Amino acid sequence: MDGMLKMSKKHNKNISTDDKERIFRDLPVPAALKAMIIPAAVSQIIVLIYNMADTFYVGQVNDPYMVAATSLILPLFNITLCLAGLAGTGGGALISSLLGQDRPEEAKRVASFSIWLAVLIAAVFSISIGIFNKPLLNLLGASDKTFTFARQYAMCVLVAGGIPTVLSNVLSNLIRSVGRSKEAGAGIILGGVLNIILDPIFMFIILPDGLEVFGAGLATCISNIIACIYFLIVLYGMGSNRIISFDIGGGLPLKQNMLMVFAIGVPSAVATFLFDLDYVIIDKLMVSYHDLALAAIGIVLKVERFPLNVGIGICQGMLPLVAFSYASGNKKRMNDLIRLSRLTGLIIAAVSILLYEIFAAQFIRIFIADPETVAMAEDFLRIRVLATPFMFLSFFTVYLFQAFKMGDKALISGVTRWLVLNIPMLFILNAVFGMYGIVASQVTADILNTIICFMMLKKYAPS
């Protein structure tokens, strides 16, 4: 740990406050986006890989019920990201805006408020899962064959690992908000790489047969704890005058800024929650057919997230830059940042569609070899991937409104996408077309939502 601390101090001495200011204000738009987006996108890919690592290693047991059990926990695990979005996205966007207004002391107060808010809500969530895990798992569709595996995974990842998971993601967002995208991404990457290494050790070496799912959960928990420790070391290495701190000695932020954290963060949290609710409904509808369908869609829902997570990384890297430019009144730079970010995301989405359509079966076989499950998942993936560019544009719109501190517009955009379009479409297309209607619901709903997003941006976004 001393070595990590020395490296952190050495690294931060080489990056002055003026250098960070230069990223926001002076660096050419392509270079600024590159500096902010690449670490964010890489960290998002690593997050997905380490989440998929559990599915991959569990899939090597070739037990579809174990795979189905880990899939059941995905919506609950994503709620931890929802909670992180409340404090991290809300606080981070406001911090960048306050720095653009040259108000560093208020930014410090917002940072400490956001951190302690994250700790509190994560603790409540973890305790609730520990107490009510049985009814929750039954609600998610756990069967007699999947319940024990799902409970083992939940207790490790959500109960023991809830606070470090939420806090790591919040600290990553807040650190990125002051221009330190490399450090923000490095912590997430560290946790992901550790999880990939520890998974097979716990699953196939340390623990006996039959506890593979428990081993995967334990590896994830330990990895997130170590990532959280890394972020604490980074904060310490940033010095006593750092913006991001646990210190509440300076008092609370102004009332309007505390409310603004929620105004910006709640849409992010709600969008993530509804995203998870969509997954829960998909699982419930799929399990009504059979457990193999649940295993197939569980794999697809992870595989399809490669381009989506890259898109989220683009949004995360873009948000502080746009928020700073908007707050400082540099509209030309703001618009250039938006255009280049959007184009980058759409190019990645197009390439992803091409690769998934050609190599769908090969991607699925990475996770499981059962022929029936592979055939079903292959069809599911080819349909679901068509939604990729529209999903990116939907998320992009929410992040833009957050950068503009238009929390109400971000909330409307997120709620419209999920409650008005996606979730109703699941039930409608399931009733009409059955299992494949569930799969096709995403692209149908997101095409409609993209049209609505374009209209909202045209009407409300500053030009």
Among all chains, which residue has been given the structure tokens 């184009």? 343
Residue 394: CA count within 13 A, CB half-sphere:
31
Distance from chain centroid for Cα 450: 20
Rounded Cα distance between 445 and 294, Å, is 21
**The tokens of 133 are what?**
């895990």
State the Cα–Cα distance between residues 276 and 274, nearest whole angstrom.
Answer: 5
Q: What is the mean pLDDT of each run of 10 residues along the chain (463 residues)?
A: 42 43 83 90 80 75 80 78 84 89 91 94 92 86 82 91 91 89 88 89 89 90 93 86 84 90 84 78 81 82 86 91 91 94 95 92 83 88 93 91 88 87 92 90 92 91 78
The whole-number pLDDT of residue 343 equals 96
Q: What are residue 11's phi and psi, to 5 degrees? A: -65, -45
The string of pLDDT tens digits covering residues 38-80 is 988 888 888 777 667 777 788 777 777 887 788 778 778 877 8
Place of tokens 């919040």: 170
Whether the CB-CB separation of 38 and 348 falls below 8 Å is answered with: no
Strand positions, DSSP E, 202-244 = none
Tokens 């999903």 belong to which residue? 391
- Cα separation of 71 and 294, whole Å? 8
- Which two three-digit tokens encode residue 330? 């540099």
Closest by CA to 305, choosing from 401, 385, 372, 219, is: 385
Question: Are the beta carbons of 264 and 326 closer than 8 angstroms?
Answer: no
Closest Cα to residue 37, out of 345, 267, 264, 333? 345
pLDDT in tens, 1-19: 444 444 444 444 443 444 4
Residue 12 has what pLDDT?
Answer: 41
Give the span between the Cα atoms of 148 and 5, in whole angstroms.
40
As for how many domains the chain has, the answer is: 1
Domain that holds residue 59: 2-460
Query: What pLDDT does 93 receive?
Result: 87
pLDDT of residue 11: 41
What is the pTM (predicted TM-score) of this model?
A: 0.77
- What pLDDT, on a 0 to 100 scale, did the predictor assign at position 314? 94
Residue written as token pair 């979730």: 423
CA distance linking residue 190 with residue 322, whole number of Å: 27
Query: Are 88 and 173 in contact, with CB atoms under 8 Å apart?
Result: yes
